[in-house]
Structure 1
């Protein structure tokens, strides 16, 4: 194989939180939604209709979809839709581990797809699993996409949506990162996709990609697994090079081998992601909340311990509120309180 060397592309480094977002940088988006239909519709709009088949109407397992859009590599990782599914906790953990691996070394944005015509008082609840599994820091990396197909002006829709209290609260938690996506305009002009990519780039320029210990651990493990898989294919690669060498020469040989090399690299990456997903775990997020809200949460929990688990959860919530007021960590307080009361409810059910 002398004379033909195709270097593997260097994976994202964790040393630089804010990467240079050139047109060659692949965009990774981790997608949640208020319904499977919304998620599938947005994915079709961005990547094309072949991503999901006609009979796929419910997203019950994490799915990674990639394509080249406007000369750019785009990856959407759709998580199971929690509103359409009643998944056991063990299954949900497994699917979210896959989501971490599929979007490693970290998504450029966590996208929440909503129907602007069906915003209810429960809309806020869509953030709970996101914060619970990824920590409250994910909120500044979260983009709300209000997807609609109706032939109405964006301005009239915005006016109505901004009157909705639940949406205003949701937008506040996500530091006002939201975007209206008109499918009809996207079909005729393609401008909506460009607006989506531009918004994500703006968020990355300000905050960098989203990462946490799970993503960093996943990426390290995936790279190790990739090297192992690549090693096991060395004989196959040498044999393929001989075949290509008999059919091509010069630049044509380099080009064909590079295509084959990229195919092998993609296969190894996908297999490595699946292998690591089975082994990855989630860190208990109480640690993140405690750091954000101060010692008040732990003090409250200790005060409530004397009256049992429910009292402990309520005490922790009150303590978190006090700690948050003192520390100014409103988002962390909100997420901690929600989880504390939810845990208390489970404990008494």
Structure 2
């Protein structure tokens, strides 16, 4: 569950809004990495050492951590490390659904943490699952963080000569940052630079969102309202207790703190609940846009006879929609994915 410090996080904007970024704007970052150690170390550097315990050396499940850093509400959503874990497709799909819900209505940046001393031809593989799940457009919102603990500045010149890194940086629009832990421990300047770079990216491209995030956010808000309603009696009773114990400004302060606590609790429970429910239907929405209405209608026609029928209906609809709309390659891709997800029974 989320490790939370400080006040409740305010919600960010959705879609492709380009907000005026200020030092008070909350930031949500979705974190991937070339190793669990690098992910955990960066999270410790930004949020503090109590986020991950000493026993946690592996990230095999999505984890949301939040805190107030340099007077900003910061949320880091660490995804399972795919270099250190071999996860079944069904488990990975579930964890990425959680990542979507935990960073909804969308991350301000997708952070790829790399070790600058170990950049190999496999470095590009770190990016593949991100693009596979979120699409090519996520690259505009991807920031490469080259995390290292040693106070070496010469490493930057060596990294820039590395062919694998140059290819990766090119795909991510040259959005990269060297994060020197040794310097950060005394000055906090590296964390500040990280926030500034994310702010710069958001000012240019807005936060990342797609149909999956938008659908998740709608579901989360609905679940939040349901949870809030179920707590109405408890909320009324707690407010009465506070009114009996406090007055004036002190009462207002206590009521605001309690309201923030209720909001945060309902939000976190809603995110978990929706993450468990999301699945094939969300993937279907994304594919419908990519392929066209033909595939979407075909899938709906097949829905009445289950996942297998859904895949068949999608295949027929995709073929017709693809041909009529000039999207044959997308249609065949949709057909393949429809059968794949139907066979695995992801839901």
Q: Is the counterpart of residue 23 in structure 1 residue 23 in structure 2?
A: yes
Change in Cα spacing, 1:204 to 1:180, as seen in structure 2 (3 Å) is same
- Cα distance in 1 for partners of 2:15, 2:31 equals 25
Change in Cα spacing, 1:75 to 1:13, as seen in structure 2 (3 Å) is closer
State the shift of 1:20 in Å. 2.2
Q: Is the counterpart of residue 40 in structure 1 residue 40 in structure 2?
A: yes
Q: Is the counterpart of residue 106 in structure 1 residue 101 in structure 2?
A: no
- After superposition, what is the alpha-carbon deviation per residue over 1:65-100, rounded to whole angstroms, capped at 9, x for unaligned? 000001110000000000100000000000000000
Q: Do the aligned partners of 2:14 and 2:106 also contact (CA within 8 Å) in 1?
A: no
Q: Do the aligned partners of 2:9 and 2:26 also contact (CA within 8 Å) in 1?
A: no
Change in Cα spacing, 1:15 to 1:132, as seen in structure 2 (3 Å) is closer
Q: Do the aligned partners of 2:32 and 2:111 also contact (CA within 8 Å) in 1?
A: yes
- Cα distance in 2 for partners of 1:148, 1:122 equals 19
- Cα distance in 1 for partners of 2:119, 2:9 equals 43
Counterpart for residue 80 of structure 2: 80
Alignment of 1:284-299 (within 5 A): none
Counterpart for residue 194 of structure 1: 192
Counterpart for residue 304 of structure 2: none
Paired residue total? 288
Alignment of 1:144-163 (within 5 A): 144-153=144-153, 156-163=154-161
Counterpart for residue 132 of structure 1: 132
Structure 2 counterpart of 1:217, from 215, 218, 241: 215
Structure 2 counterpart of 1:270, from 243, 268, 271: 268
Q: Do the aligned partners of 2:16 and 2:205 also contact (CA within 8 Å) in 1?
A: no
TM-score by length of 2: 0.79
Q: Do the aligned partners of 1:135 and 1:288 also contact (CA within 8 Å) in 2?
A: no
Change in Cα spacing, 1:216 to 1:196, as seen in structure 2 (3 Å) is same
- Cα distance in 2 for partners of 1:16, 1:110 equals 15
What secondary structure sits across from 2:120 in the alignment?
coil
Change in Cα spacing, 1:226 to 1:87, as seen in structure 2 (3 Å) is same
Q: Do the aligned partners of 2:10 and 2:26 also contact (CA within 8 Å) in 1?
A: no
- Cα distance in 1 for partners of 2:182, 2:13 equals 38
Taking only aligned residues, the RMSD between alpha carbons, in angstroms, comes to: 2.3
Q: Is the counterpart of residue 206 in structure 1 residue 204 in structure 2?
A: yes
- Cα distance in 1 for partners of 2:17, 2:122 equals 34
Counterpart for residue 309 of structure 2: none
- After superposition, what is the alpha-carbon deviation per residue over 1:126-178, rounded to whole angstroms, capped at 9, x for unaligned? 1110000000000010000000011212xx11110011100000000000000
Change in Cα spacing, 1:63 to 1:254, as seen in structure 2 (3 Å) is same
